[in-house]
Each structure stands twice: as C-alpha cells, then as structure tokens.
Amino acid sequence: MRKTSLFNDGWIFEKPGFLAEAVTLPHTWNAKDGQDGGNDYWRGTAGYKKTFARPALSADERLFIEFKGVAMEARVCLNGTEIAYHAGGYSAFRAEMTPYLQEENLIEVSVDNSNNDRIYPQKADFTFYGGIYRDVSLITVKQAHFELVKDGTPGLKVTPVVDLEKKCAEVTVEAWANAGGSIVFEIEGEAGILRETAALQDGYAKAVFTIENVRLWDGLADPYLYTARAVLYAGNGADKEALDEICTRFGCRVFCADPEKGFFLNGRPYPLRGVSRHQDRYGIGNALGMKEHCEDMQIVRELGANTLRLAHYQHAQEFYDLCDENGIVVWAEIPFITMFMQNGRQNTLTQMKELVTQCYNHPSIACWGLSNEISAASVVDETVLENHRELNELCHRLDPTRPTVMAHAFMLEIESPLIPIADMASYNLYFGWYLGELSQNEEFFDEYHAKYPDRVIGFSEYGADANPAFHSKDPQRGDYTEEYQCLYHEHMLKLIDERPYLWATHVWNLFDFAADGRDEGGKNGQNQKGLVTMDRKLKKDAFYLYKAAWSKEPFVHLCGSRRVDREEEVTEIKVYSNQQKVALYVDGKLFEEKEGERIFSFMVPISGKHEVKAVSGGLSDTMTVVKTEKPNEDYIFNKTIVVNWFDKEDYKPEYYSIKDTMGELQQHPETAAILEGMMAKMRASRGDVAEASVNNANLQKMMARMTLESLLKQAGSVPEEAVRALNGALQRIKKS
Ligand code: GCU
C-alpha cells in the first residue's frame, strides 16, 4: 500500500551571488529581509538541490514527489530532466519520479519570486516570500494508484447533502485512479461504518451513502467529522490485496446567506463574526510548521471568533484541517488582488482550480473568494469583468455546493457591474483609519443595503494600525496608539451588532504581518492592524474587546497597562470583560463597581503611583499607573505631522486654507488646481496606489468631507515647509 515520507532534510540552497547553504525545508529566503522594511527584499530565481540514492522500489511500485507550497514559480528537474513546472505560490503539486530514477539521483528545484505580469500576486500589501516554504514528501504507490498529479487532487471528493428535516445526509464519494478494477468506499462515524463497492469506469468510481440521524458539523458547538475512505482493488473487490488507500475527513452541514437575515448554519442564524489571518510569523517568514499553525488556532479560539478569512491565498492544508476540527467557518480565496494583469487570466483559473480541487472536502470552507480589491489599481473594464465571470463559472462547475464572493475596495462604486458577478459581496472599508470618519462605515453599508436589499453583503476588512508602544489620553485617527485602535473597534463592533444583515465580518487582521514596503507606526516592514503582534507574544487591548463580545471564557482585562505614565489629573481606566459586573480597586480600596456589557469605564483621580485592580468574581487583572507632569514622549509616534504652527499664525478665515474640506477646495477653480498639483505629487510618491484609484470618483466623493489638513496628517511625513507653502497658496485665494 501507499507509503509517504517527509523529504525535507539535506537540501542545499543557492541564491545567486551568495554562498550555497545547507537548509532543512520548509524554508524561505525572505524570512529576514521580507520583514524588515525598505521594500527591498530579495526577489529572483534561487535554487534548491539534493542528492539521494534510489529508494528501494519493487517492480510494480511508482515514486512521486509532493510539494505542498513553493513560491511563486517552480521548475523541478530530476537528473537533468524537467518533471514538473508550477505557477502559483500557495497550492500543492506532485510529479512522478520513477522513469528518471538512477542509482544516485540529483533533484533540482528552481524557485522564482520575481516580479512578473502573469502570476498573482504582484501588487499587494504583504511580502511575497520566496522559497520551498511547506513540506516536501515522497509518495510510493503501486503501479495502480489513486490520482496524484491532476491539479494536486487528494484523489477523493466527498459531497454531503443534508436534509435537516429528515436529519439525514446523502453523501456522494468519488475517486479517480489510473488503473485497477474496483473501489471499496467506506464512511465511518460514531454509529459505525457504511460500505459500498463500485467498479472503476474510465478511471472513475463513485458511491452514494445515506447517513441516517446524521451528526452535523455544527460550527464551534459541535464540529463533528466523519471519515471517508477508498480502497483500490485489482478485481471486483473480492481480491485480498488492496492496491492503494486514501481517506479524508468530511462534515455534514448546511450553509446559506440571506440578504436581510445574514448567515445561517444548519438552519439557524449564525452571524459570522471573526478575523483574517496571513500565513507568516516574525522571524520565520511563511515557513510555518504545525507548531505555528496550532498556536494561531489557539489564539483564534481564545478570541472566540467563529470565522476566519484565510487571506489572500490558499493556506496550508494543516490549517484548513484545524478549522474543520475547531468548527471555524472559512472564507478561502486566491491571490487575484489589487491590480489586474492581462497576462494573468490563465493563472487565476489555474490557482482557483487547484484551490477548489485541493480544499473541496473541508467542511469549514463556506465560500470561494474570487478576488480582493482588484479595482484598487485597475480600471474595471470588460477584460476584468470577463476574467471574473470565468472564475465564477469555474467555481460553480467544480463546486455547485458553495457560493462565490469578492472583497471590494472601498473606492469601488456600489453600482459597479463587478459586484453582482459573484454570489455574494463584501467590502473592505477603512473609514476612520485611512480617511474619513468612523460613521462613514455604517453610512456606507446602510446606503448599499437600501439600494440593493436583495444582495448579500459583508464586511471583509476593517482595521486600524496600533503599535503597543504608542499611547494617548486623546487618541486620534492615525496616531498608531492602542487607545485609538480600541475606540475604532468599539465603534465597529457596535455597527456590526446593529446590522445582522452583514453575512460575515472579518477584522483586518488578527495578527500583525509582514509588508516589506511599509514604514509606518514605528515598525518598519509591518502592517500593524493586528489585534496580536507578529511574534504572537502580545495581545493588544482591542483583542480583549472582541473576546468580551465573542468568547464564553470568563475574563476581565484592564486596558492601558502599557500606558503607565499619565499626565491627566483624572484618568480613564477602561476594562473589557464578558462578565456583567466589574469592580475597580485603587490601592487596595474599592473605588467603584459597575454593571454593564463588554466595556466598563471608570474615571479615577490620580496623584502618584497607583495599583489598579479590576475584579469580577474570582477573576482579576492588575496594573500600575503613575501621575506625571507631562506626557511621556516615548508614547508618541512622532512621524505624524503635527500642524500646530498653524494655530499660532493668524490666518484669514475669509480665504481658503488647509482647514477647508476637500469638497470645498474642489469648488473653486484656483484651489482645485492647487489640489490637483498636490495630488499629482502624492501619486508619484506612492508606488502601490495607481492612478485608477486616486482619480476614482467614488474615492473623491468619500474624501470630500475630509479637511486637507487631516489628509496631510494621514499621508504621513509631509514636510512642514511643504504644508506651509500649500497653505500660503490657498490663503491668497478669497472665498467666493
Ligand atoms: C486592503 C488590502 C489588505 C491590506 C489592507 C491594509 O484592504 O486588502 O491586503 O493589508 O488594505 O491597508 O491594511
């Protein structure tokens, strides 16, 4: 029968211009330079090679090699003959080695993560790590075996169809093999084993089972898994010797999304409330192992999320397995992202075909994501629409049981023809972080829902960066403080609670992650919208807001423990808890007890060093605060432009200035011309946001309410003299 063994040891890694080094897989060559900022991580073609003796194979045995993830493009040669080519950094692929084996063998894998115009992703806010970053295995099978190569298939496809009324499930199990006479199919659950034998016809066989009194895969409450097995025989199954065996777990559930009532699981309302995750970790890049996957899932479970958006690509099978086992509903997607590439059409179809083929059996996966913010750097023209129609049809052909979805950029007008192509839509909104006001988030969804009441809509991304080193008693949008991130998410959680029609909401992001092109918020190379730091060592205060909303595990959490020094006379002590009552003790004495839900705020006079303790039942959390004369400078992220010189200088309110909104400034031809000049300069300086989005009418409509001053603040380090010059020019123009 089949034998699988890891093939990770003893590789030599060679990067042009560098000494060869011995490595053990999984490996990425961007573990360091992909996370330290500068947008300069090494991208190119590197090589991995390994020599190995001919494995012992009997005459009727065949040897295959399996790569679970090689980013982004791979060519595999065995003893000088190319045995595999794969374009796409996130799906598995296999190749047969048998015909090319010698006594001594050399396998060489050329891996490329260069910039190109045909393999997605090429433009996005995360590091495109290069390397053989997931396990490699050897698989020994008999001459007759289940399919291994086509689209990296698991060889077995299980389609459960549940009838909730009758409490039963009709389970179709299909398998593909290159030879053999029959297949014995089994499904196994707590009630025992059901078995069917089917003859192989043209390399295909299927069996249909009915599970009476089916135990549902019921999300967090009961993620029950059955096992499906297929055993290949030469003859009609009566033979004793089995040729090959494969198995997979599966779950019986019913998903649906209603435009008004949101998401349903197994016939009951089940609002999907959760977070997103990128597959990387501080210091090891994307070369994650089971340890990292399990740690991430533990944090997801502590948070109490019931859904994960596994962005922006196919994640490791091990992690989808963990979602199956933990009852986490998953949004799976391909990296068709940010910028449309004319030469990338085939690659979107290949990546989607492999995602669906390889992940079909996971009960946790609820939908297939076609693209993410594809309008951000591209005009949505007919070729873009056509590529999405093809992807949508491909998904429905490969998997009639799951809906498709897209994540749209906030500047995509809601009337766009792109939106109705997929079965469902979600939007990535960043009002209250990148631009605009927090209230624009709910205004957006209410406008969309009113205009399209029969369309399913969700909230696929929202977030605010926070560096745990930065703090403020007056948190502001763009200050990168934990306090602002908390205020931001308190607002979001409320708007989400008030809108059950949102089929799914996903905080962007559960974890800080590497974006080597970033240099913001005091951490070069990181996107800090995470609720948890990239090393997983620190849960930011906002993490506990969602824990208070979603987790049943009793806790109390004092916010602001990292803001020890406080200049104010009376300071807010905020507590997040999923308990109804919280008592606050200051220096051992009961200060106040409050009843509430999730957020408990106490105003405490301070005059020296104080021990603060939050208590609820047997639960408690403590911290120290110290009254200081002035703000602790270490808490302030100083790259943010502080245009306080402006308030001192006398400015003429009857003339235009940076205090006016973009909408007002667009009204006057002269000020509009000045704005256009400034925007042209900003476009030139921002590589990742192309013409299309900055000129986007929808974006301008959204920016209209922003003052030019707040836009400049948000743009980050705009030199003060440039701001003075701009303001001076505006002050010469009298308001009409
Ligand atoms: C976008 C994008 C993410 C990105 C996020 C951000 O919505 O989809 O990949 O990381 O914005 O700017 O943080």
pLDDT digits (tens, 9 = 90+) for 5-24: 999 999 999 999 999 999 99
Question: Could you tell me the distance, in angstroms and rounded to a whole number, from the CA of residue 125 to the centre of ligand 1?
Answer: 6
Q: How many CA atoms lie within 13 A of 158 on its CB side?
A: 29
Domain boundaries, the chain: 3-143, 165-250, 267-553, 566-634, 639-730
711 pLDDT tier (thresholds 50, 70, 90): confident
Residue among 99, 113, 108, 124 nearest 43 (CA):
113
Task: Please report, for residues 391, 410, 453, the alpha-carbon distance to residue 421 in angstroms, rounded to integers and kept in the order given.
Answer: 10, 18, 16
Q: Is 373 in the pocket of ligand 1 (CB under 6 A)?
A: yes
Number of neighbouring beta carbons within 10 Å of residue 679: 16
Question: Could you tell me the distance, in angstroms and rounded to a whole number, from the CA of residue 372 to the centre of ligand 1?
Answer: 9
Residues 274/306, Cβ–Cβ less than 8 Å: yes
Residues 287/328, Cβ–Cβ less than 8 Å: no
690 pLDDT tier (thresholds 50, 70, 90): very low
As a whole number, the mean pLDDT across the chain is 94
Task: Give the chain's end-to-end CA distance (angstroms, integer).
Answer: 85
pLDDT the model gives residue 714: 67
Question: Could you tell me the distance, in angstroms and rounded to a whole number, from the CA of residue 676 to the centre of ligand 1?
Answer: 26
Q: Taken in order 349, 354, 425, 164, is the CA torsion positive or negative?
A: positive
Give the DSSP H/E element, type plus range, for residue 669: helix 669-685
Closest residue by Cα to atom 3, ligand 1, is: 125
Task: Please report, for residues 156, 283, 403, 647, the alpha-carbon distance to residue 397 in angstroms, rounded to integers and kept in the order given.
Answer: 17, 41, 11, 62
251-265, 582-596, 684-698: range with lowest mean pLDDT? 684-698
Classify 176 as helix, strand or coil: strand
Ligand 1 test: best mutation among 122, 125, 465, most atoms within 8 Å of CB?
A: 125
Fold: same for 3-143 and 165-250: no
683 pLDDT tier (thresholds 50, 70, 90): low
Question: Could you tell me the distance, in angstroms and rounded to a whole number, from the CA of residue 462 to the centre of ligand 1?
Answer: 8
Q: How many CA atoms lie within 13 A of 324 on its CB side?
A: 20
For 633: left if phi > 0, alpha if psi spans -120 to 50, otherwise beta; the answer is: alpha
For the cut 90, the answer to whether the pLDDT of residue 178 exceeds it is: yes
687 pLDDT tier (thresholds 50, 70, 90): very low
For the cut 80, the answer to whether the pLDDT of residue 701 exceeds it is: no
Round to whole Å and give the CA distance between 237 and 650.
Answer: 93
Write the pLDDT tens digit of every residue in 319-347: 999 999 999 999 999 999 999 999 999 99
Average of per-residue pLDDT across 605-620: 98
For the cut 50, the answer to whether the pLDDT of residue 642 exceeds it is: no
Question: Could you tell me the distance, in angstroms and rounded to a whole number, from the CA of residue 311 to the centre of ligand 1?
Answer: 10
The yes-or-no answer on residue 373 being catalytic is yes
Round to whole Å and give the CA distance between 586 and 624.
Answer: 10
Residue with tokens 């060869």: 20
Q: Is 506 in the pocket of ligand 1 (CB under 6 A)?
A: no
Question: Could you tell me the distance, in angstroms and rounded to a whole number, from the CA of residue 197 to the centre of ligand 1?
Answer: 49
Q: Is 546 in the pocket of ligand 1 (CB under 6 A)?
A: no
485 pLDDT tier (thresholds 50, 70, 90): very high
pLDDT the model gives residue 436: 83
Q: What is the chain's percent helix, strand, coil content, to nearest 5?
A: 25, 35, 40
* 267-553 under CATH 3.20.20.80, yes or no: yes
Q: Is 508 in the pocket of ligand 1 (CB under 6 A)?
A: yes
Residues 370/407, Cβ–Cβ less than 8 Å: no
- Percent of the chain exceeding pLDDT 70 equals 94
Q: Which CATH architecture has domain 165-250?
A: Sandwich (2.60)
Ligand 1 test: best mutation among 275, 508, 688, most atoms within 8 Å of CB?
A: 508
For the cut 50, the answer to whether the pLDDT of residue 691 exceeds it is: no
Round to whole Å and give the CA distance between 240 and 237.
Answer: 8
Per-position DSSP letters for 528-541, written without gaps between them: ---SB-TTS--B-H
Residues 548/578, Cβ–Cβ less than 8 Å: yes
For the cut 80, the answer to whether the pLDDT of residue 699 exceeds it is: no
Q: Taken in order 538, 544, 546, 551, is the CA torsion positive or negative?
A: positive
At 346, list the tokens.
Answer: 């085939």
At 456, list the tokens.
Answer: 């399913």
At 530, list the tokens.
Answer: 């995470």
Q: Is 127 in the pocket of ligand 1 (CB under 6 A)?
A: no
Of ligand 1's listed atoms, the one at least distance from the Cα of 527 is: 13
Ligand 1 test: best mutation among 122, 333, 334, 373, most atoms within 8 Å of CB?
A: 373
Ligand 1 test: best mutation among 527, 528, 686, most atoms within 8 Å of CB?
A: 527
Round to whole Å and give the CA distance between 630 and 635.
Answer: 11
Instruction: Give the chain's length.
Output: 736
Of ligand 1's listed atoms, the one at least distance from the Cα of 311 is: 9
For the cut 50, the answer to whether the pLDDT of residue 97 exceeds it is: yes
pLDDT the model gives residue 649: 63
Q: Which CATH architecture has domain 566-634?
A: Sandwich (2.60)
At 519, list the tokens.
Answer: 């240099």
pLDDT the model gives residue 5: 98
Number of neighbouring beta carbons within 10 Å of residue 213: 10
Of ligand 1's listed atoms, the one at least distance from the Cα of 409 is: 7
Query: Which residues are 209's β-sheet partners?
Result: 171
For the cut 90, the answer to whether the pLDDT of residue 241 exceeds it is: no
Q: Is 509 in the pocket of ligand 1 (CB under 6 A)?
A: no
Q: Is 372 in the pocket of ligand 1 (CB under 6 A)?
A: yes
Q: Is 529 in the pocket of ligand 1 (CB under 6 A)?
A: yes
Classify 680 as helix, strand or coil: helix
Residue among 434, 346, 340, 350 nearest 382 (CA):
340
| pTM score, whole prediction | 0.92
Residue among 216, 240, 246, 243 nearest 232 (CA):
243
Active-site residue, from 373, 442, 461, 520: 373
2-16, 349-363, 661-675: range with lowest mean pLDDT? 661-675
Of ligand 1's listed atoms, the one at least distance from the Cα of 337 is: 8
Of ligand 1's listed atoms, the one at least distance from the Cα of 513 is: 10
Residue among 195, 295, 173, 184 nearest 245 (CA):
184
Q: Dihedral through CA 509, CA 512, CA 517, CA 520, nearest 10?
A: 100
Closest residue by Cα to atom 4, ligand 1, is: 125
Structural class in CATH, domain 3-143: mainly beta
pLDDT the model gives residue 676: 82
pLDDT the model gives residue 715: 66
CA 189 to centroid of chain Cα atoms? 32
Closest residue by Cα to atom 12, ligand 1, is: 125
Residue among 242, 263, 173 nearest 209 (CA):
173
pLDDT the model gives residue 77: 98
Task: Please report, for residues 22, 37, 213, 467, 633, the alpha-carbon distance to residue 636 in angstroms, rounded to integers and kept in the order given.
Answer: 44, 21, 60, 10, 5
Burial (CB < 10 A; 0-12, 13-18, 19+), residue 117, is exposed
Q: Is 159 in the pocket of ligand 1 (CB under 6 A)?
A: no
Residues 367/150, Cβ–Cβ less than 8 Å: no
